[in-house]
Chain A
């Protein structure tokens, strides 16, 4: 079955440092979504990437979708304490009826003030 892996599993950074999480799918994706889950919270949608090689920015967050549509990355510039949480990528396969999202293993980000 489809697998989506993320590295690293954990990342501890000093406040102000940058952070990157990488997402790799075993199969080509139709699109990829990124979610953030705060400790004790639920996944909250951040963004969706659809096109091969697409890059999108949200303030300090930069999202990329690989040319082969099998990998993606999220980069946070100058982290803040509010960035704490687990970041999940979630991929959707091609084809009608493929509504489900296959979530990645997640990267838990902690910030050292």
Chain B
């Protein structure tokens, strides 16, 4: 069964440094997402991406964050200047559209996540 893959599985970075988290969504999916989960807490939406642009973002997704789909397969999340509170598990997800090209009612498929630790 196709999977969403994320790299690296664990990233340790000094505060203030830039970090790029990478994701390869399922190949025929059209919607891509980033979520984060602080240890022991709920999953929080960061951003959704469709047709090469951001379609929705949360208040967490400030100017320090950016997303990109540099080629036909990768989907990246960049944090420009990391802060201690950015430490979390970051999940990438993707979803297809149905036969009528609608997004609604489609499940999201999550990757295994990248654990980001800011020192």
Contacts and interface: CB of A to CB of B under 8 A. Distances in A.
B22 to A, nearest CB: 16
B42 A42 contact: no
A14 B104 CA distance: 38
Contact of A88 (B33, B43, B58, B59): B43
Given A43-B91, A45-B109, A92 B104 contact: yes
Interface of B: 31, 33, 35, 42-45, 48, 50, 55-56, 58-59, 91, 95, 103-105, 107-113
A30 B104 contact: yes
A98 B56 contact: yes
A43 B45 CA distance: 13
B112 A102 contact: no
B105 A31 contact: yes
Given A43-B91, A99-B31, A103-B44, 16 more contacts: A1-B59, A33-B108, A42-B112, A45-B107, A45-B109, A88-B42, A90-B43, A92-B104, A97-B56, A98-B56, A99-B48, A99-B103, A100-B33, A100-B48, A102-B45, A104-B42
A45 B45 CA distance: 16
Contact of B110 (A1, A44, A48, A104): A44
A1 to B, nearest CB: 8
B35, B107, B109, B112: most-surrounded residue (chain A CB, <10 A): B107
6 contacts: A43-B43, A44-B110, A48-B107, A50-B105, A88-B43, A100-B48
B11 to A, nearest CB: 16
A103 B43 contact: yes
A52 interface: no
Contact of A100 (B42, B45, B107, B112): B45
A20 interface: no
A35 to B, nearest CB: 8
A45 B108 contact: yes
A90 B33 CA distance: 14
Contacts of A112: none
B56 A100 contact: yes
Interface string A10-35: 00000000000000000000110101
